[in-house]
């Protein structure tokens, strides 16, 4: 892990059973950002709460679950078989450079998920959110409640 010492000292983090969790011991403002380097396959789930930003590079996993609550932003690169996303709020996920076989995506609110999926897409939007996808999935299951949309990204 890399970052400013006083910020690192204020963090409590664990990685257990594929779940990586970061908490603060006290109220702290992270000014420079932090870098966590984890071995491929050691994390299969990540939850962001609030206005956090995360960049995940070289992700290689059978399955990966991302939950974003609030106005968080996530950028993902790599390859997974199964990609599950749950957005609640105005979050944004950019995963067009993350190759996935299946995508199970749920957006509640005004969030946006952009992904690359080749086999199966199951998308549900509640509200004004959007799901945009690259690829030509063989199976697409769309459910929309509200003014949201599920559509292909034109290259």
The pTM (predicted TM-score) of the whole model is 0.84
Same structural domain, 20 and 70: no
Q: Say yes or no to pLDDT of 11 above 70.
A: no
Same structural domain, 125 and 144: yes
The dihedral formed by the CA atoms of 155, 137, 90 and 41, expressed in degrees to the nearest 10: -110
The stretch 53-78 carries a mean pLDDT of: 92
Would you state the pLDDT for residue 153? 94
Closest to 81 measured CA to CA, from 111, 44, 123, 113? 44
Same structural domain, 67 and 133: yes
Question: What's the domain count of the chain?
Answer: 2
Q: Which residues contact 24 (CB under 8 A, 6 or more apart)?
A: 10, 11, 12
Would you state the pLDDT for residue 96? 98
The stretch 29-55 carries a mean pLDDT of: 72
Q: Say yes or no to pLDDT of 27 above 70.
A: no
The dihedral formed by the CA atoms of 39, 72, 109 and 124, expressed in degrees to the nearest 10: -20
The overall average pLDDT reported for the chain is 86
Determine the structural domain holding residue 26 and report its residue range: 1-37
């Amino acid at each position: 892990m890399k970052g400013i010492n006083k910020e690192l000292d204020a963090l409590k983090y664990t990685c257990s059973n594929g779940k990586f969790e970061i908490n603060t011991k006290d109220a702290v403002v992270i000014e420079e950002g932090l870098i966590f380097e984890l071995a491929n396959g050691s994390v299969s789930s990540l939850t962001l709460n609030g206005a956090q930003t995360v960049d995940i590079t070289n992700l290689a996993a059978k399955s990966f679950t991302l939950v974003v609550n609030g106005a968080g932003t996530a950028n993902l690169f790599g390859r997974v078989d199964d990609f599950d996303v749950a957005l609640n709020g105005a979050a944004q996920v950019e995963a067009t450079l993350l190759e996935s076989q299946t995508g199970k995506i749920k957006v509640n609110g005004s969030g946006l998920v952009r992904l690359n999926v080749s086999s199966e897409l199951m998308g549900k939007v509640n509200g004004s959110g959007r799901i945009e996808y690259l690829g030509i999935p063989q199976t697409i299951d769309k459910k929309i409640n509200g003014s949201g949309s599920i559509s292909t990204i034109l290259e």
